[in-house]
Amino acid sequence: MVGYCPICGKPVYFGEKKRSLGRDYHPLCLKCQRCNRQLTAGQHAEYDEKPYCTHCYMKIFGPRCTLSGNRGTRRKPTHAQGEHANSMQKDRDRNEQTLNKKI
């Protein structure tokens, strides 16, 4: 049975298919929707049935920093590192207080 590429909609034959996340792709169609980087089967993420490289996926859909609001980037945050440490310490203190109340 011939599958159809979710990107271009054309038939994908056995000899040319790249299977990833339960779908058959043409080798040239399996690329990041944002940066167009060629992806390898199983080494990417999907959102709304579209493939993204891990970097772009985290940048677009990843968790946000509670202080700056930036999504998962590898750059230094725009806020001071001390603020981040203070925020994490406050979270630890709050968790410890909650645990102590339960005991």
48-86 pLDDT, tens digit each: 888 999 889 988 888 877 777 676 655 544 445 555 556
Smallest CA-to-CA distance from 78 within 87, 90, 69, 91 is with 69
Asked if 24 contacts 17 with a C-beta cutoff of 8 angstroms, the reply is yes
Domain count, the chain: 1
Nearest-angstrom CA–CA distance, 103 and 95? 13
CATH number at residue 15: 2.10.110.10
pTM (predicted TM-score) = 0.59
- In 3D space, the residue among 38, 67, 68, 69 whose CA is nearest the CA of residue 51 turns out to be 38
What residues make up the domain containing 77? Answer: 3-102
First and final CA of the chain: distance in angstroms? Answer: 61
Residue 86, pLDDT score: 61
Over residues 29-55, the pLDDT tens digits come to 999 999 999 998 778 888 888 899 988
